[in-house]
């Protein structure tokens, strides 16, 4: 596309436009970047007045935790190639090793193996190589940048954050799979039915979407706490207390997520031409067979996108999980609140920062891998109006 | 077209979930808001003994304690109390007192009115900011070289997908007591600044956080919308001598209008539920929101009791706002639907 002379912009406009863009990029990334830096420093450095002290970490360095030039160069190289091969080589490896028909499983296993291999190389092999290398190389091997992983060790080890991580994974995996199973069926039905009932259902879903979640939780709590007694006449002595059960929280989050899911999937299914399933119907398929044989193979882009947003809802939730789960099976985000309560020393504060960064890291990877899907998901509902 | 039976089979699981976990809880909340469940109290003579010097010292007193049933649990009764829970939440007597005495500001000392004031102000003030900042980012990204657009979109998505509690915490840590930005401001102004000691600075940071968090969403949608602006219209506007500003006002903004309406609707819905900021900024002593108020009633107090009745009443009061919020868009959708049917 060639820009005509009249559309060309003055230097001042171009300059202020890029200046604003740089300003926005800094604002958007700074808080996240800064807490990441803080989480690797000793408490004195993390809350130092001078930004340079926070970055360089002199106090951390004096306590014997530091990196030399060689450490940084090699460490960054490992991270760079891990990320690069994740996009260039990993898909190929998974394709060649996973048996046909089990692609999804292959990806799960492949990603897990890849992550473990990275951890082994980064935390196992790399320090072994760097130790002797640093002592040989003199000034290049001299540590100059203070950096410590002690807060991560404390959070994941002593404070058993991996339990919360496991609970978070359980809840989000449940929310995503059930939301999508229930939601695709409904979304397809709504997209292919022009009836008034479908319209009213969508309007009702829109109203449900606007409800504050605390309103709903106020409705669940009395029932969930007393569910063992309420359900006793039906299920006898096996009737469960729903309060504190992860699967009850999954059910609740799936329901809360349904309005959004069916709206989004409906708009994706509307983009799949109806002639496709009509052709299958002419060949003698029922609606369900048409859905399974013709629609299912082409619906995955929409389903993946919707799944990402379901993941975010389950992963980011604070309100529902903090009120409906007890301390033993708390997910990650509400568990952070536990740090507030005992956040008395600065060490506790930096541990809370490390926990926060731990929660953000998977989201960072998510955007890296699925940027295109997230953008298309955001625009799918809106641009069509 | 689908037969009703097939349609029903497709949507049934989804409808079942929504009825069981959204519609029925709403009915339950409505009923709970008129009831109070309390433990049955009884008066009992209790003898408490403390080991003393030589002999024990024993005191016998009459105490009111909850009755324990045969199964070892506290027996409770549920009573209909009419609007009492609503009165407890609204505290109208104090409101009238404040009006009568001329200290209208005292109304904002009452939790519910304090929360309502903040929620409404927050919703209405962030709306134009989010739309304006989102549009500005979209215009500048659209103006930038193709190679930088991908990375800029990547970075812009980070504040949007970050867990809201963590996002507000990350800003909290920049400004908390000895946070880096507070230290910087103190160096510039030469005064002692504490951002979390008074309501207005906390609110300012909350507005900032919300715009930071939601503007990327507006940006992505506007950016997609900008790709479909009709170039011919733009060029003819240039030929007619329209300035850049006039083109923005008369061509681009009208083109983006449906998107602005969409973003405004989503933003109003989400902002009215403002909650995570209160947790992240730990602002409950100064600034609270309606959803936080319900959350607080539902959180067990020191004795382990949850104020379910008051939570239900405050939840129902919150719902009134939702009705106002949705009335206009729903009326419009209804008209469109009727229009398309004929």
**The CATH number of the domain where A332 resides is what?**
1.10.3720.10
pLDDT for position A343: 58
Q: Are A243 and B298 in contact (CB under 8 A)?
A: no
pLDDT for position B161: 93
- Chain B environment of A7 (Cβ under 8 Å): 234-235, 238
B170 contacts A32? CB cut-off 8 A: yes
A195 contacts B235? CB cut-off 8 A: no
Q: Which residue has the higher pLDDT, A141 or B181?
A: B181
Q: Does residue B47 register a pLDDT over 90?
A: no
Overall average pLDDT of the B299-307 stretch: 83
Per residue in A202-239, pLDDT (tens digit) is: 889 988 988 999 999 998 888 888 888 888 888 877 77
Helix axes B199-226, A346-383, angle to 10 degrees: 40
pLDDT for position B17: 92
The answer to whether residue A105 is domain-embedded is no
Distance of CA A378 to the CA centre of its chain: 16
First to last CA, chain B: 18
Instruction: Look up tokens 């020191």; give the residue.
Output: B302
Contacts of B291 (CB under 8 A, 6+ apart): A212, A213, A214, A319, B119, B273, B274, B275, B318
The answer to whether residue A99 is domain-embedded is no
Q: Which percentage of chain A shows pLDDT scores above 90? A: 29
pLDDT for position B1: 62
Residue of chain A minimizing CA distance to B187: A49
pLDDT for position A1: 42
pLDDT for position A188: 92
The dihedrals phi and psi of A228, each to the nearest 5 degrees, come to -60, -40
Q: How far is B113 from chain A (nearest CA, A)?
A: 18
pLDDT for position A381: 64
Separation between Cα atoms, residue B216 and residue B135, nearest integer Å: 10
The dihedrals phi and psi of A194, each to the nearest 5 degrees, come to -95, 15
Q: Are B141 and B153 in contact (CB under 8 A)?
A: yes
- b (16+ CB within 10 A) / e for A273-307: eeeebeebeeeebebeebbeebbeeebeebbebbb
- Chain B environment of A221 (Cβ under 8 Å): 298, 306, 308
ipTM above 0.90? no
* Residue to test with chain A: of B29, B76, B161, most A Cβ within 10 A: B161
What six digits make up the tokens of A303? 């389903």
Q: Are B225 and B142 in contact (CB under 8 A)?
A: no
DSSP assigned state of A272: S
Separation between Cα atoms, residue B131 and residue B122, nearest integer Å: 14
- Helix (H) / strand (E) element for B6: namely helix B4-18
The answer to whether residue A153 is domain-embedded is no
Residue of chain B minimizing CA distance to A338: B279
pLDDT band at residue A342 under the 50/70/90 scheme: low
The answer to whether residue A310 is domain-embedded is yes
A105 to A98, A113, A117, A144, B6: CA distances (angstroms): 8, 12, 18, 44, 32
pLDDT for position A105: 80
Provide the domain count of chain A.
1
Tally of CB atoms within 10 A around A265: 27
What six digits make up the tokens of B174? 């920049």
Overall average pLDDT of the A230-251 stretch: 84
B155 closest CB neighbour out of A6, A14, A29: A29
What mean pLDDT is reported for chain A? 86
pLDDT for position B341: 56
Q: Are B168 and B208 in contact (CB under 8 A)?
A: no
Overall average pLDDT of the A84-99 stretch: 82
**B-contacting residues in A 25-44 (Cβ below 8 Å):** 25, 27-29, 31-32, 34-35, 38
pLDDT for position A160: 84
The answer to whether residue A258 is domain-embedded is yes
What is the domain extent for residue A378?
160-385
- Chain A environment of B275 (Cβ under 8 Å): 212, 214, 318-319
Instruction: Look up tokens 């009755």; give the residue.
Output: B67
User: Mind giving me the DSSP string for B134-185?
Assistant: HHHHHHHHHHS-HHHHHHHHHHHHHHHHS-HHHHHHHHHHHHSTT-HHHHHH
Name the residue among A128, A379, A10 with its Cα closest to residue B222.
A379
* Strands annotated E in A108-172: 145-146
Distance of CA A249 to the CA centre of its chain: 18
Separation between Cα atoms, residue A252 and residue B250, nearest integer Å: 46
CB of A374 within 8 Å of any CB in chain B? yes
A378 contacts B221? CB cut-off 8 A: yes
- b (16+ CB within 10 A) / e for B64-94: eeeeeeeeeeeeeeeeeeeebbbebbbbeee
- Helix (H) / strand (E) element for B203: namely helix B199-226
pLDDT band at residue B314 under the 50/70/90 scheme: very high
pLDDT for position A244: 85
Helix axes A346-383, A300-316, angle to 10 degrees: 150
Separation between Cα atoms, residue B273 and residue B263, nearest integer Å: 16
B143 closest CB neighbour out of A17, A35, A352: A17
Q: Are B210 and B122 in contact (CB under 8 A)?
A: yes
pLDDT band at residue B162 under the 50/70/90 scheme: very high
Separation between Cα atoms, residue A28 and residue A21, nearest integer Å: 10
Separation between Cα atoms, residue A62 and residue A40, nearest integer Å: 14
DSSP assigned state of A10: -
A45 to A37, A350, B171, B183, B246: CA distances (angstroms): 10, 10, 18, 13, 51
For every residue of chain A, which 3-state class applies, written as one string? Answer: CCCCHHHCCCHHHHHHHHHHHHHHHHHHHHHHHHHHHHHCCCHHHHCCCCHHHHHHCHHHHHCCCEECHHHHHHHHHHHHHHHHHHHHCHHHHHHHHCCCCCHHHHHHHHHHHHHHHHHHHHHHHHHHHHHHHHHHCHHHHCCCEECCCHHHHHHHHHCCHHHHHHHHHHHHHHHHHHHHHHHHHHHHHHHHCCCHHHHHHHHHHHHHHHCCHHHHHHHHHHHHHCHHHHHHHHHHHHCCCCCCCHHHHHHHHHHHHHHHHHHHHHHHHHHCCHHHHHHHHHCCCCHHHHHHHHHHHHCHHHHHHHHHHHHHHHHHCCHHHHHHCCHHHCCHHHHHHHHHHHCCCHHHHHHHHHHHHHHHHHHHHHHHHHHHHHHHHHHHHHHCC
pLDDT for position A385: 43
The answer to whether residue A65 is domain-embedded is no
Q: Are B7 and A193 in contact (CB under 8 A)?
A: yes
Q: Does residue B43 register a pLDDT over 70?
A: yes
Q: Which residues on neighbouring strands pair with residue A87, listed in sequence order?
A: none
Q: Are A335 and A164 in contact (CB under 8 A)?
A: yes
A17 contacts B144? CB cut-off 8 A: yes
pLDDT band at residue A2 under the 50/70/90 scheme: very low
What six digits make up the tokens of B278? 């209160």
Per residue in A101-155, pLDDT (tens digit) is: 777 788 888 888 888 898 888 888 888 888 888 878 777 777 888 888 888 988 8
Q: Are A374 and A305 in contact (CB under 8 A)?
A: yes
3-state DSSP assignment of residue B25 = helix
What mean pLDDT is reported for chain B? 87
The answer to whether residue A207 is domain-embedded is yes
Separation between Cα atoms, residue B215 and residue B220, nearest integer Å: 9
CB of A296 within 8 Å of any CB in chain B? no
What six digits make up the tokens of A44? 């004195």
The answer to whether residue A92 is domain-embedded is no
Per residue in A140-195, pLDDT (tens digit) is: 777 888 888 888 988 888 888 889 999 999 999 999 999 999 999 999 999 988 78
Separation between Cα atoms, residue A154 and residue B319, nearest integer Å: 43
* Residue to test with chain A: of B21, B115, B129, B225, most A Cβ within 10 A: B21
- Chain A environment of B136 (Cβ under 8 Å): 20
Name the residue among B40, B45, B39, B74 with its Cα closest to residue B58.
B45
Separation between Cα atoms, residue A91 and residue A107, nearest integer Å: 8
B325 contacts A25? CB cut-off 8 A: no
Q: Which percentage of chain A shows pLDDT scores above 70? A: 95
A141 to A42, A64, A144, A158, B70: CA distances (angstroms): 22, 14, 9, 32, 73
A182 contacts B14? CB cut-off 8 A: yes
A21 contacts B14? CB cut-off 8 A: no
Per residue in B221-266, pLDDT (tens digit) is: 999 999 888 888 888 888 888 888 888 888 899 999 988 988 998 8
Q: Which residue has the higher pLDDT, A38 or A137?
A: A38
Per residue in A295-339, pLDDT (tens digit) is: 888 888 889 999 999 999 999 999 999 999 988 888 999 988 777
Q: Which residue has the higher pLDDT, B341 or A49?
A: A49
User: Mind giving me the DSSP string for A171-233?
Assistant: HHHHHHHHHHHHHHHHHHHHHH--SHHHHHHHHHHHHHHHS-HHHHHHHHHHHHHTHHHHHHH
């Amino acid at each position: 596309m060639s820009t005509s002379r009249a559309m060309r912009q003055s230097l001042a406009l171009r300059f202020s436009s890029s200046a604003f863009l740089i300003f926005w990029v800094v604002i958007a990334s700074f808080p996240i970047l800064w807490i990441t830096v803080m989480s690797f420093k000793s408490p004195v450095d993390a809350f130092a007045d001078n930004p340079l002290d926070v970055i360089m970490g002199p106090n951390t360095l004096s306590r014997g935790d530091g990196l030399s030039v060689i450490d940084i160069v090699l460490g960054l190289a490992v991270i760079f190639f891990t990320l690069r091969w994740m996009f260039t080589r990993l898909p190929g490896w998974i394709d060649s090793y996973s048996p046909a028909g089990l692609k999804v499983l292959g990806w799960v296993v492949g990603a897990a193996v890849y992550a473990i291999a990275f951890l082994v190389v980064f935390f196992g092999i790399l320090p072994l190589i760097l130790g002797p290398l640093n002592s040989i190389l003199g000034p290049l091997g001299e540590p100059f940048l203070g950096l410590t992983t002690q807060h991560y060790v404390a959070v994941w080890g002593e404070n058993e954050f991996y339990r919360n991580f496991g609970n978070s994974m359980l809840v989000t995996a449940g929310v995503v799979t059930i939301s999508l199973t229930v939601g695709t069926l409904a979304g397809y039905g709504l997209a292919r039915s022009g009836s008034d009932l479908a319209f009213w259902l969508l309007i009702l879903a829109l109203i449900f979407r606007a409800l504050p979640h605390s309103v709903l939780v106020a409705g669940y709590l009395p029932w969930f706490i007393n569910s063992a007694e309420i359900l006793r006449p039906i299920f006898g002595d096996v009737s469960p207390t729903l309060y504190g059960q992860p699967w009850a929280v999954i059910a609740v989050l799936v329901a809360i997520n349904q309005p959004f899911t069916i709206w989004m999937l409906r708009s994706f299914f509307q983009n799949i031409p109806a002639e496709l399933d009509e052709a299958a119907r002419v060949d003698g398929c029922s609606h369900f067979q048409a859905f399974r044989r013709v629609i299912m193979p082409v619906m995955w882009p929409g389903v993946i996108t919707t799944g990402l947003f379901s993941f975010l809802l389950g992963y980011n939730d604070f309100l529902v999980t903090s009120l409906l789960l007890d301390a033993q099976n708390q997910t990650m985000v509400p568990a952070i609140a536990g740090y507030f309560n005992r956040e008395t020393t600065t060490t506790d504060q930096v541990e809370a920062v490390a926990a926060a960064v731990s929660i953000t890291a998977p989201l960072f990877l998510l955007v890296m891998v699925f940027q295109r899907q997230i953008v298309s998901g955001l625009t799918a509902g809106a641009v069509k109006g | 077209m689908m037969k009703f039976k097939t349609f029903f089979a497709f949507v049934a699981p989804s409808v079942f979930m929504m009825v069981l976990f959204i519609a029925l809880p709403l009915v339950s909340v409505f009923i709970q808001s008129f009831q109070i469940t309390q433990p049955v109290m009884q008066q009992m003579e209790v003898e408490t003994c403390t080991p003393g010097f030589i002999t024990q010292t024993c005191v016998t007193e009459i105490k009111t304690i909850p009755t324990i049933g045969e199964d070892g649990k506290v027996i409770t009764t549920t009573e209909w109390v009419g609007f009492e829970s609503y009165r407890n939440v609204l505290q109208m007597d104090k409101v009238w007192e404040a009006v009568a005495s001329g200290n209208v500001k005292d109304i904002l000392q009452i939790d519910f009115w304090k929360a309502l004031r903040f929620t409404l102000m927050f919703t209405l003030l962030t709306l134009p900011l989010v739309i304006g900042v989102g549009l500005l980012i979209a215009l500048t990204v659209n103006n930038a070289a193709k190679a930088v657009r991908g990375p800029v979109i990547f970075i812009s998505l980070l504040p949007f997908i970050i867990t809201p509690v963590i996002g507000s915490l990350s800003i909290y840590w920049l400004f908390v007591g000895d946070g880096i930005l507070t230290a910087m401001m103190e160096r510039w102004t030469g005064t002692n600044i504490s951002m979390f000691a008074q309501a207005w600075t906390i609110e300012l940071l909350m507005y900032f956080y919300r715009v930071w968090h939601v503007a990327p969403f507006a940006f992505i949608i506007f950016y997609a919308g900008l790709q479909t602006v009709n170039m011919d219209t733009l060029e003819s506007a240039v030929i007619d001598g329209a300035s850049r500003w006039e083109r923005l006002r008369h061509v681009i903004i009208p083109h983006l209008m449906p998107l602005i309406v969409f973003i405004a609707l989503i933003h109003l819905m989400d902002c009215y539920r403002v909650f995570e900021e209160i947790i992240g900024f730990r602002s409950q002593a100064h600034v609270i929101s309606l959803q936080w108020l319900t959350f607080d009633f539902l959180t067990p107090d020191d004795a382990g009791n949850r104020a379910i009745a008051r939570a239900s009443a405050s939840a129902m009061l919150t719902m009134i706002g939702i009705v106002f919020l949705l009335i206009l868009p729903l009326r419009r959708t209804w008209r469109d639907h009727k229009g398309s049917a004929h």
